[in-house]
Amino acid sequence: MSSNKNLLVLPGDGIGPEVVNEAIRIVDWMGEKRHFKFNVEQDLVGGACYDAHGSAVTDATMEKAKSADAVLLGAVGGPKWDNVARDARPEAGLLRLRKDLDLFANLRPAIVFDALIDSSTLKPEVVKGLDIMILRELTAGVYFGQPRGIEERDGVRYGLDTQIYSEPEIERIMEVAFDLARKRNKKVTSVEKANVMESGVFWREIATKAHKNGNTDIELSHMYADNCAMQLVRWPSQFDVIVTDNLFGDILSDCAAMLTGSLGMLPSASIGSRDPETGKVPAMYEPVHGSAPDIAGLNKANPLATILSFSMLLRYSFDLAEDADMIDKAVEAVLNNGLRTPDIMADGCRSVSTAEMGKAVVAELDKLA
């Protein structure tokens, strides 16, 4: 790989800066030992940006995000900004990055490491060897649908959001689902509420059409979202790729995350479409967990989801599967060695800090290099 890829790092709020620091340790290691260096630029997002500039992301940062080869984000939000107007709240920065970069495909893999089987609240036999991929549509649906707002009609106040999907929006996320499944176990479960929602009926129709149109080598099934939530805790290994809309994907991915033992373990990738002129595919990588303000600054947070997000960055933005595999193996080795941050602590294991965990991953990478 050429040595001048630009990485925009947005640590954000709460534990964001701490966990991102540990991922940077791995970025630096890659530069030293694997001889590809990233030009790393850091900037503000979320509440940190609001405090400095009065908005959750600035236009200048958006330009940097658009021109970077990839973005790595920590987490945004916290009670400090609870009373800020909705369009300036920390979450608005994240949503603008997703929307303006058109990062419509959000990959949230839920993998259970053998060493963490006892951290899951589910029985070991239910989660052993689990490897599923939740694909969440990220730039449409009720998160962005119009009209929305709080308004008065005939003297009664209403709160209102709109769930809306266009045919191309469903089609393109389905294509990503089939492509992902093709490299995995060739099964896609498309999730909606076609029993209740018009948008669900439409989603199912377009999903079926996309399947018939060149994807019949993949098995497609449909499931209602409530049933999917239940099946995820009952028998998660029945799934390979789950594809769903923005809101159901938000909820189901938190649920799938807990199968793995901790929200602190789950990475994610948000990917857009290739620019026909530059050939560039915009992408942002972030842990699924939030900013955990209660433990911010205490060196207690689990940095593994962010480190694994950097591994996804190498895999999906730069096609560096070998290097990504090395990081995944190093993380697995650290867990096998019994090192645990408090969120995944178990009997007989050694409790380590955020920084110790990052250093331990680097030490394992040294052994693998």
Binding site for Mg ion (CB under 5 A): 250
Q: Which is nearer to Mg ion, 250 or 343 (CB)?
A: 250
Element (DSSP H or E) covering residue 9: strand 5-12
Alpha helices (runs of H) in 68-195, residue ranges in sequence order: 90-100, 124-127, 167-182
Q: Which is nearer to ligand IPM, 207 or 263 (CB)?
A: 263
Q: Which is nearer to ligand IPM, 94 or 122 (CB)?
A: 94
Q: Which is nearer to ligand IPM, 44 or 210 (CB)?
A: 44
Give the Cα separation of 126 and 225 in Å (integer). Answer: 20
Which residues contact ligand IPM by CB under 6 A?
77, 91, 94, 250
Give the Cα separation of 77 and 10 in Å (integer). Answer: 13
Q: Which is nearer to ligand IPM, 253 or 354 (CB)?
A: 253
Residues serving a catalytic function are 143, 193, 226, 250, 254
Smallest distance, ligand IPM to C-beta of residue 77, A: 6
Q: Please give the residue whose beta carbon sits closest to Mg ion in the complex.
A: 250
- Using the Cα atoms of residue 315, residue 319, residue 320 and residue 321 in order, give the sign of their dihedral: positive
Q: Which is nearer to ligand IPM, 215 or 306 (CB)?
A: 306
Q: Which is nearer to ligand IPM, 255 or 362 (CB)?
A: 255
Amino acid type, 359: K
Give the Cα separation of 15 and 265 in Å (integer). Answer: 14
Q: Please give the residue whose beta carbon sits closest to ligand IPM in the complex.
A: 91
Residue 136: C-alpha distances to residues 70, 145, 226, 314 (Å): 19, 16, 16, 20
325 binds, among Mg ion, ligand IPM, none (CB under 5 to 8 A by kind): none
Distant-in-sequence, close-in-space partners of 145: CB < 8 Å, separation ≥ 6: 161, 162, 163, 164
Give the Cα separation of 23 and 194 in Å (integer). Answer: 41
Give the Cα separation of 229 and 54 in Å (integer). Answer: 38
169 binds, among ligand IPM, Mg ion, none (CB under 5 to 8 A by kind): none
- Do 215 and 268 form a contact (C-beta atoms < 8 A)? no
Strand-pair category, 283-285 with 70-75:
parallel
Three-state helix/strand/coil letters over 267-294: CCEEECCCCCCCCCCCEEECCCCCCCHH
Residue 215: C-alpha distances to residues 107, 226, 320 (Å): 19, 26, 27
69 binds, among Mg ion, ligand IPM, none (CB under 5 to 8 A by kind): none
Distant-in-sequence, close-in-space partners of 81: CB < 8 Å, separation ≥ 6: 47, 50, 89, 90
In 63-101, which positions are buried (b, 16+ CB within 10 angstroms) versus exposed (e)?
Answer: ebbeebbbbbbbbbbbeebeebeeebbbebbbbbbbebb
94 binds, among Mg ion, ligand IPM, none (CB under 5 to 8 A by kind): ligand IPM
Smallest distance, ligand IPM to C-beta of residue 89, A: 9
Strand-pair category, 70-75 with 105-111:
unpaired
